[in-house]
């Protein structure tokens, strides 16, 4: 795991190459940019794409600038990596392979926002969370489709149509 801000000195050469290889027209078609969108929003797509190339990590892969890359992502990230796959041949690199997954549902259920989001730190589950933090988040925020009290749940049962059991 890394932060773009910590790794930008290694990522930046590929960010610039990607920016040169993708036209605004391509980016607008993929992301739906409008005239009022900030330049940062437009430029970010190249920052998101750069880690898909091993040459962005010369310290980790000093003699392997063209290793294949598998990108596990949810469908909302697909436009970034479609752009990345289009840019790869122009950069002389392999196209990354994508592994699409379902959204991890929000702990609060569908009414709680639909998908889990890292921007909601109190209810998102992070790889760095301790077992104690995980238990606290699940016990406090998880929505199971159950009833308001244990007694009601035993009497009425749960609603499997809205149960977030996975």
**Which of 27-36, 66-75, 116-125, 132-141 is most confident?**
27-36
Query: Rounded CA gap, 123 and 9, in Å?
Result: 32
Split at pLDDT 50, 70, 90, the class of 64 is: very high
pLDDT computed for residue 2 by the predictor:
63
Q: What separation in angstroms does the CA of 113 have from each of 4, 76, 107, 145, 166?
A: 26, 15, 9, 15, 16
Query: Rounded CA gap, 13 and 165, in Å?
Result: 43
Split at pLDDT 50, 70, 90, the class of 149 is: confident
Q: What separation in angstroms does the CA of 156 have from each of 51, 93, 140, 153, 159?
A: 49, 58, 22, 5, 9
Mean pLDDT score, 141-156 = 76
Alpha helix locations (H) across 22-157?
24-31, 39-49, 78-87, 131-141, 150-156
Query: Rounded CA gap, 144 and 106, in Å?
Result: 11
Mean pLDDT score, 74-96 = 92
Those residues with Cβ within 8 angstroms of residue 53's Cβ, 6 or more apart along the chain or in another chain: 14, 65, 66, 69, 88, 91, 93, 96
pLDDT computed for residue 8 by the predictor:
87
pLDDT computed for residue 159 by the predictor:
75
Query: Rounded CA gap, 13 and 62, in Å?
Result: 15
pLDDT over 70 for what percent of the chain?
80
């Amino acid at each position: 795991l890394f932060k773009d801000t910590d790794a930008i000195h290694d990522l930046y050469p590929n960010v610039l190459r990607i920016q040169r290889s993708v036209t605004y027209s391509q980016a607008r078609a993929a992301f739906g940019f409008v005239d009022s969108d900030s330049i940062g929003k437009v430029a970010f797509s190249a920052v998101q794409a750069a880690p898909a190339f091993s040459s962005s990590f010369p310290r980790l892969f000093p003699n392997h600038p063209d290793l294949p890359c598998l990108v596990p992502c949810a469908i909302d990230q697909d436009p970034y990596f479609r752009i990345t796959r289009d840019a790869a041949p122009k950069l002389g690199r392999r196209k990354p392979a994508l592994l699409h997954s379902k959204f991890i549902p929000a702990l609060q259920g569908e009414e709680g926002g639909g998908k889990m989001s890292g921007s909601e730190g109190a209810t998102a589950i992070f790889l760095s969370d301790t077992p104690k933090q995980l238990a606290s988040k699940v016990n406090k925020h998880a929505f199971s489709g159950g009833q308001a009290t244990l007694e009601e749940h035993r009497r009425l049962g749960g609603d499997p149509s809205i149960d977030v059991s996975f």
